[in-house]
Structure 1
Amino acid sequence: MAVTVVIGASRGIGYQFIKTLAAEKNSTVIATARDPTALQAKVNADNISNTHVVEADLTSYSSLTAAAKTTSPLVSGQIDHLVINGAYLSSTGGMNPTDFAHNPTLFLDELHKSDQANVAGPLFAINAFLPLLRAGNGKKVTYVSSGTADGPETLAVQLSNSVPYSTSKAGGNIVIAKFAAELRGEGFLFLSIAPGGVATETLMDTSKFTEDEKAKFQSMFARMMEKYPEWKGPITPVESVKRILDVVANAKVEQSGQFLSYWGNTTEWL
């Protein structure tokens, strides 16, 4: 039986991981959320089986270690795959670096929140669940990253916005690479994978953006479509999760530590 722990499973891509993995034969899913009651209600309403909901906060090491302790007896002390999906998406997504010229406090505050979840978070989560991963057979860790954390893509499409978020996701990728380097001899597969442009509530809700920020995003999407003329816009969480899991399934241990797109390469991010 394959056991997967999904950190940050309450909505969007994280919730789709639950639905996809729980539907697989001989599969058990541990789904974590800061509000386990709300997530359990969704799981019950959707009749998702083979799933246990556990409380965990990605920014709290003590919360994650407690979640691992709760998880252990549910899965006989071993898991095969740890998926780290939870993240902090800065409210300054529409701002470019120079937009912070006269507001350094805002930048530092958003960078701190981003780093807590997107850099410290994966380190905390992996360390908390590492004993269960070591006891399992899969030894896989997947960090859901972002194409905005890729340097060449940033230059090619002029992705000048989302500075705290992109910076922290790049930091998270390095954390994953560091774990891969340290534990190389133990047969682990650590991967950072960008999920593509996904039609989640967070991405599609433009109500929180100013007209200037909306214009910047429209310009960015135009440049994306220029580089990717075949791109039809954001994909569904169903398609994104399927592709991510396909990349993990087809990856070799020798690739541990890499940052890949949901196509399994480092050149196509949409």
Structure 2
Amino acid sequence: MDSIRNFAKTHSKELGLTAVVGISLFIVIKRRKKRAKRVYPPNTIVHHQIGRGAYAPSLSPFCLKLETYLRMAKVPFMNVHDSISNRSSKGKLTWIEYNGEKVADSEFCIQFINQKINIDLDKDFSEEDRAAALAIQRMVDEHLFWTVALQRWVYDPSSGIDPRKTLNFSWFTCHMINKLIQKQTYAQGVGRHTKEEVHHVMDEDLKALSKFLGKKNFLLGEKACQADSAVFGMLAQMYYHGFGGYGEKAIKKYPNLCEYCDRMKEALWPDWDDCITHGWTKEATK
């Protein structure tokens, strides 16, 4: 008994955190079980995602990517902002339902829609151009993303940018995501570098993207391709949701990338102001 008491005294913080996490998980699981099954309109893409962001429609690059693609594809869709508690089968924040079928991961969602509804946004581009666009998208989705995540959740808070204010999350949530991002980026590899090295990697990716875009309006020319949705989703986090941190400063070194963001916004998001909270000052209406 004494040994148990001693353990409890010396590990009180760890036990407290474990208890809070356990209670939180219990509540989430209980809510999931109680959630009534909703009936959605037939032949409509139901996009499950998190709530609207401060100055861009989502704080998640992949939610913004998928909704931008849906707008490009001009398919019937509706948003359901419930994925904080109603995650996909893969635990991700953006997923879809279509006539009862559920698909997780933004990229597999896009492939599913392309096949199911016979959509091909890249049909007018050559095989070489499509391959180049995919390579750029992979760099953005699988490499640049981790530098953006580290900047937002680890480096910005240590530089005095409070995510509780900029991202509208509780201290506990910010703390948990901070630890998760550090763990994930270390496993991925980018998180093993110093902050200065991560910034160097971010700059290299942005420079390559800027060179590839050049003076074109979109990645492959005058018409947006499928990969533009992913690139816009990621760059928008730096341009609109940088909150004065290094990510915002980095993208502003490349005027053509900033102009690209504004161009995608103007072309596909005429209701942008209705889809943001204007710095958490009001509810988004769409």
| Greater length-normalized contact order (CA 8 Å, ≥ 6 residues apart) | 2
TM-score normalised by L of structure 1 = 0.29
TM-score (structure 2 length as normaliser): 0.28
Whichever of the two has the greater Rg, that structure is 2
Task: Pick the structure with more strand per residue.
Answer: 1
